[in-house]
Chain A
Amino acid sequence: MKIVKIDKKTWAAGIEKLTASYRLFGPVKEGDFHNFKELGSGEAPDLDCLNTRLSAKAIIYPQSENMFEYSLDESREDHHILKEVDTDYSPRAVIGIRPCDAKAFELVGLNFDTSEYKDPYWIKAREATTLIGLACSSPGSNCFCTTAGCGPFHEDGLDALVVDTGDHFLAKILTEKGEQLFAAAGWKQEAKAAGKQIEALKQEAEAKIASSVNTDNLSALDTTQLYNASFWEDVSFSCINCGTCTFVCPTCWCFDIQDETHGNSGVRMRNWDSCMYPLFTLHGTGHNPRGTKLHRVRQRFMHKLKYYVDKYDAGIQCVGCGRCVRSCPVNIDIRRVCELMNSFDSEKDTCAA
């Protein structure tokens, strides 16, 4: 694996060069918060951003995305027949994505890219995207990535990992895509001996992660006993089902499909949806299998910390970015729920049915 040294003075020029062959995305400050945005010419990613309020998922999986278009005009040969829309899948690159958001794409990919069905929208966008990560040297206080299968210097999902050493950047080139991007930017000064320095910075950063979860017992637990645990009442009590936790989360992928018609033509589109909303599961008959907020809160945590774990054997469906913890208006904390689940003992559970 190649390590490249980037002089900070050449950074902006390299980014500018990339615009010739990539659509660039990066964190920028909007109001009080940072978010990912497509960068205009001369605009640079803000590398001082600790992390964005929303995750990077929308770059590959937009909040609202057209799938098909149609015409209802009966004078047209193809009326009422759905046709695929033209979507721009030209190369794009995200500069300054945090390792947790990159790893999240790996977890989400298990849902969208399966042996039976392939979601062409997600897969084509993912393939078109090069992810240049920025290692976290000073992680946030709610970050618990190191015990959530990730870490401040984690490499899964990334094409290159950039480390800020203070006076310059060191970049580990991890894939062919990363190689191509670095060539296009003109960053090519190899720093063969810098591996040790990166390793030291990595350990320093990992040691700063103060928060953690235990997940070792989750897969051994019985699903129905855990489902019937008495703590769900307490866990869900203050939730207002606002859905914020699922929208800010890089590993939440649920969506809705809707037709939107204007005059005689329209689109079939998909939009982010949330298991926190009653409509998500409401039957046409009025029956709702997840009719109470207890059902819905339990679904979110059971999905992330039990169903996903059992289904894929790839750890929990959470990278420990801490966004849901920071954004929840009533302070529901996945770390606490994870602890309740992981330490659940059906024998000792007082009111389990």
Chain B
Amino acid sequence: MQNPYLPYPVRIDDITIETEDKNLKTFRFVFLNPEDENKFDYQAGQFAELSVTGKGEIPIGIASSPTEKGFVMFTVNKVGLVSSHLHAMQAGDIMGIRGPLGNWYPWEQLEGKNVVIIGGGFAFTTLRSSIIYMLDPANRSRFKDIHVIYGARSPGMLLYWDELSQWEKRDDINMHITVDGTDDPNWKYNTGFVPTITEQKAPPADKDTYAIICGPPIMIKFTQPVLDKLGYSHDKIIMSLENRMKCGIGMCGRCNIGEQFVCKDGPVFTLEQLNQTPKEY
């Protein structure tokens, strides 16, 4: 019987500091047993449990894309026990990854559609995975227009800056980067909160346009009315939830919203689905 709690052993290959406050780091992992990489067969939008031996596990969205081979990547905010220990670890250290877990963004349904990605703060991780996935030469033609609205407090708090500026230059993706505010006179992108920029830049609703939203509760709270105003129907608004987790496979009982488990039936839900569940997230 396969043990769904047993992590694959991995080695930290590289660590990058992502933000000016140094609270977010990106970890690249390589599987110790190369065949485990094939078993860890994931889709953009899924998450995994990062297992820091002796400290515990934390659920983290997979930031690398299934089109990127040879490693997996996660961006972790320093919050409490496990994430702080992870931040203190070094390249070369051994730990574990368990997954992939949960469902993913509905890629088959999104085929032939316009995709509007709306992200805020450090909840951009699985959105990065999604963008890399859609921009892959083998996939780009499967989707129509791609819009990305991504905001952070300040320029130094935006994740994946090098990639963002490269995507800015491409003509097959419409980038709308924004910051709440900046004193940098050379800032050439938007200034303003994500909901405001969404109202200005998001394409109008139509039957072929889907929005994927990922961000802090406050951003989601104020972006949803904007999408309503723009006419997006709730079955076309896709969200990824976070709840405290342990098992990640629907067994330990803590992450449910109604009869659904965020870890197993989610984390991706449409707003239409969420309207029918207790709001315990």
Contacts and interface: CB of A to CB of B under 8 A. Distances in A.
B244 interface: yes
A70 B53 contact: yes
Interface string A113-140: 0101111100110000000000000000
Contacts of B91: none
B48 to A, nearest CB: 15
Contacts of B276: 223-224
Interface string A279-306: 0111111010110000100010011001
A263 B276 CA distance: 49
A280 B254 contact: yes
Interface string A256-276: 111101000010101001010
Nearest to A223: B258
B204 interface: no
Nearest to B78: A284
Nearest to A311: B259
A275 B254 contact: yes
Contacts of A299: 256, 280
Contacts of B93: 80
B18 interface: no
Interface string B242-263: 1110110111111111110000
A191 interface: no
Nearest to A257: B246
B198 to A, nearest CB: 23
A111 B251 contact: yes
B55 interface: yes
B244 A256 contact: no
A28 to B, nearest CB: 30
B26 interface: no
A255 B246 contact: yes
Nearest to A114: B250
B34 interface: no
Interface in A286-336: 287, 289-290, 295, 299, 302-303, 306-308, 310-311
Interface stretch (B5-13, B138-146, B151-159, B188-196): B5-13
A11 interface: no
Interface residues of B, number: 46
Interface in B5-54: 5-7, 9, 32, 51, 53-54
A80 B95 contact: yes
B5 A67 contact: yes
B251 A227 contact: no
A270 B95 CA distance: 19
Contacts of B7: 82
Interface in B60-107: 79-80, 83, 93-96
Given A82-B96, A257-B252, 9 more contacts: A72-B53, A72-B54, A119-B4, A257-B246, A258-B56, A270-B252, A283-B243, A283-B244, A299-B280
Interface of A: 67-68, 70, 72, 79-82, 84, 111-112, 114, 116-120, 123-124, 223-224, 227, 253-259, 261, 266, 268, 270, 273, 275, 280-285, 287, 289-290, 295, 299, 302-303, 306-308, 310-311
30 contacts: A68-B5, A70-B53, A81-B32, A81-B94, A81-B96, A82-B96, A116-B249, A116-B250, A117-B249, A118-B4, A224-B277, A224-B278, A254-B252, A255-B252, A256-B252, A257-B252, A259-B55, A259-B56, A273-B254, A280-B244, A281-B244, A283-B242, A283-B243, A284-B83, A285-B79, A289-B257, A289-B279, A289-B281, A299-B256, A302-B278
Interface of B: 1-7, 9, 32, 51, 53-57, 79-80, 83, 93-96, 217, 242-244, 246-247, 249-259, 264, 276-281
